[in-house]
Amino acid sequence: MKEIDTIEALETHLSSDAGLADVVFQNLDLSGYTDALLARDVAGAVFLGCRLDVRLRDHAVGGGALVFPRIEGLPYDPYQGRLYGIGDLYDRFDRHRPESYLECLDARVYAHWKATGGAAPPDIRETLARRLHDHAMTDAVEELLHPEDGPDPRVVGIMGGHSMARTAPAYRQAAEMSRKLSRHGYLMASGGGPGAMEATHLGSWLAGSDDAALDQALDILAGAPTYRDELWLAKAFEVRERLPASPEVQAQHRGLGIPTWLYGHEPPNAFATHLAKYFANSVREDGLLTIAKHGIIYTPGSAGTIQEIFQDACQNHYVTVGVVSPMVFFGRRFWTEEKPVYPLLEKLAEGKAYRAWLTITDDPEEAVDVIERYARTMESSA
């Protein structure tokens, strides 16, 4: 189906002889185009959250179109037609007033999420609105990963603990791995939150900068080591201010964060260029692992990271996404002794194709090399 989500695209379509069957109009104010649309056969068209006057609404419903009405009175848009940016979720943040986070869209939506029942809202109107929003997020992710005007990006994920301190060696190493992979043309993806997730996108943010810039950023961030610190977000915005990435650098070294309001007490990190924030954590988790088809690097983490490991292993075990991709475990002692996941995974993978792509290492260079070797293998077999 053809999606039209800008007025420019709408006018282009209406100026042609193309029909409206299998056309999706998403989140548009169509009140100024009533006469033009009344003159068209709307059978098979879909209107998602568009503003329609009474005549056009009746024409659409009576003519065989599918109309999803707007849902008013919500702090979020159920028909969000694009991925969020930092400026969207942190629309009112002032780093000199850390408490201003509570005025931001991200905090307003989280407050609404809690006030309407948290993960189990009793109001079917609210559950429907959330599902529509999450569907819009997934659609926007698909548009990012399958552009009409270029090749699909190669997506690599870095997973790890949300509580990883900015001063931890593993944080710097995650940033360095991400920076190198970004420079090699990969789109870096993470769960979009603090800790190892933030380090992932810090690396992409600084992909156009030298080592001194990374040192400077880490020095600034050390002033608020974890997301529980009052200045956590303010320090990230200070890095953005002092070490800005130009629009060209951001376009070249993109990062996709996929956080959730289920963990809304952990604000999204401020370095991802694109954010797909979900209400449903299960959809978010599975989707994140599914899109990282060029591999995932697992830095030390706890229950959430271990959950992701075995979800990823299941996808590889049964080849449910069509490819078997690398699972790189960064931190040999951690993954064999503290959280001995790797020995179990080796056993699970015996006789399976993904056994060849299991790696455990303490060397950031080796972790990156595995991803690069996999990419070469995929290109040679294409």
Return the percentage of the chain with pLDDT > 90, whole number: 97
Q: Is the pLDDT of residue 96 over 90?
A: yes
State the pLDDT confidence band at 381, using cuts at 50, 70 and 90. confident
Please state the rounded mean pLDDT for residues 77-83: 94
pLDDT at 302: 95
Q: Are residues 153 and 63 in the same domain?
A: no
Across residues 362-368, what is the average pLDDT? 98
- Name the average pLDDT for the chain: 96
Say whether both 192 and 332 belong to one domain. Answer: yes
Question: Would you state the structure tokens that stand for residue 260, as one six-digit string?
Answer: 């959730």
- Tell me what pLDDT residue 18 has: 86
**Domain containing 36: what range?**
2-68
| Whole-number pLDDT of residue 91 | 97
pLDDT at 48: 96
Q: What residues are paired with 360 via a beta bridge? A: 329
306-331 pLDDT, tens digit each: 999 999 999 999 999 999 999 999 99
Q: Please give the model's pTM, rounded to 2 decimal places.
A: 0.95
pLDDT per position as a tens digit, 115-132: 999 999 999 999 999 999
Which residues, other chains included, contact 325 with Cβ-Cβ below 8 Å and sequence gap of 6+? 292, 293, 294, 295, 296, 316, 354, 357, 374
- Residues 49 and 158 placed together within one structural domain of the fold: no
Same structural domain, 189 and 333: yes
Residues 6+ apart with CB under 8 A from 133: 76, 77, 78, 79, 80, 279
CATH number for position 258: 3.40.50.450
Which one of 68, 89, 106 terminates a domain? 68
pLDDT in tens, 233-268: 999 999 999 999 999 999 999 999 999 999 999 999
Residues 46 and 166 placed together within one structural domain of the fold = no
